Structures are given as structure tokens and as C-alpha cells.
Amino acid sequence: MLFPKFRPLQTGLSLSLAVFIICLSVQLTLLFKPLFYFDIEYLNIEEESNLSRETIIENYDYMIDYLLNPMPQTFHLPSLDYSEHGRIHFQDVKRIFTFNYILLVITGIISIIGFYFSVRNRDFYFLKTAAAALILFTIIPLVAFAVDFNTVFIIFHELFFSNDYWIFDARTDPVITILPETFFLHAALLILGLILLGIILLSASYKGLSKKYNR
């Protein structure tokens, strides 16, 4: 009897859960430094940048720690030069990841509370619709990446940044030489892979809980 009544709430909860999984996937990818360490060798970053592996890792680790820290912080690479525009760009990126972290916490709380009441009402519709929403979110980027990742990369920056400071000059911002575009493709694929894992877990949970509580 309660199932139709709670359907709008379940739909809202499914969207919150989908956003939570997307934000969590982004956060986990940022935390997963071994991806970059692997790409140092795989993409020949040492040769391309003319920098030692130690210098590359030192500056990359600093960038990630800077982006992950939600508190205000002055950007200062430990052993690479950077321009004022470069500094501003990293501040802009930090704001995006801080927003992602805040959204992760908010949607996580909503999802936990919603899940609790859904179990009480034996209504797991939100798991199914969250998985469906994430499938759409995953398919569209994958198709776009396959067609032309470079164009997607440019459009992303034009949408999320109000300036062109993301267009680095290696002479003033040599950090760009350790961040090839292919690395960002690998990071994007890892995000989508984690979202796919989330889809699998949601689908399995929906089937398992529905059988358990609706026998």
C-alpha cells in the first residue's frame, strides 16, 4: 500500500544515490595515486618532461594533496616553477573538488537516511532507478571518449572554467609536461569503471533485498 505513495521520494533518493556514487568515484580516483605512478612509465613522462621520477612524483603528490584538502591553502609547487595564471587555475580546480567533496557528504547522508526508511517500508525501487541513471551517465561519456576525447577534454574545461588559464605554456608552467592528456583519459576511464562497479552493486542489492523482504 505504501509503495505508490513513496514513489516520488524513492525517485529523489535514487538521484541522490546516483550523484553520491559519481562523487565517490571522482574522489577515489583522485586518491588513487598509483594510476599516475604507473603512467610515468607507461606514457614515458620522464623522457617527455626531462624531469626525474622523484621530481615528478614530488610535485604530483603535492598537487593531489592540495586538491584533496578542503581548507584554504596557498598553492606552491615544491620544485617546479609556475605562473600566476597556473596558480589561479589550480585554485579553480581545488574549488571544484571541494564542491565535489561537499556534495559527496550531503548525498551520502541523504542516501543513508533514505535507505533506512526504504528498508523499513520494504521499497527498494530507488536502487533500480539509481542504477539506470548511472548506466546513462556511463554510456554517454564512453561514446564521446571513443569518438574524440580531445574535444571532450576541451569542452569540459570550457564548461567548468570561466577563463583560459587551463591552457598552460610549458615555458612558464612546466607542470603541464608531467600531466599528458592521456593520463586524464585514464583517470576518466577509472571514474567510469568505479561507477560501473556501483551499478553492479546496486543491481545486485536490488535483486537480493527484493527477494529477502518481499517473499
* Domain range summary for the chain, segments of one domain joined by +: 2-213
Neighbouring residues of 117: CB distance < 8 A, sequence distance ≥ 6? none
Q: Is 175 exposed, middle or buried (0-12, 13-18, 19+ CB in 10 A)?
A: buried
Q: Is the dihedral of CA 34, 111, 105, 89 positive or negative?
A: positive
Closest C-alpha among 132, 125, 133, 129 to residue 214: 125
* The pLDDT of residue 215: 59
Mean pLDDT of the chain: 91
Cα–Cα distance for residue pair 4/7, rounded to 1 Å? 5
What is the value of pTM for the model shown? Answer: 0.90
* The pLDDT of residue 7: 67
pLDDT in tens, 177-209: 999 999 999 999 999 999 999 999 999 998 888
* The pLDDT of residue 105: 97
* The pLDDT of residue 195: 96
The low-confidence residues of the chain, meaning pLDDT below 50, are 1-6
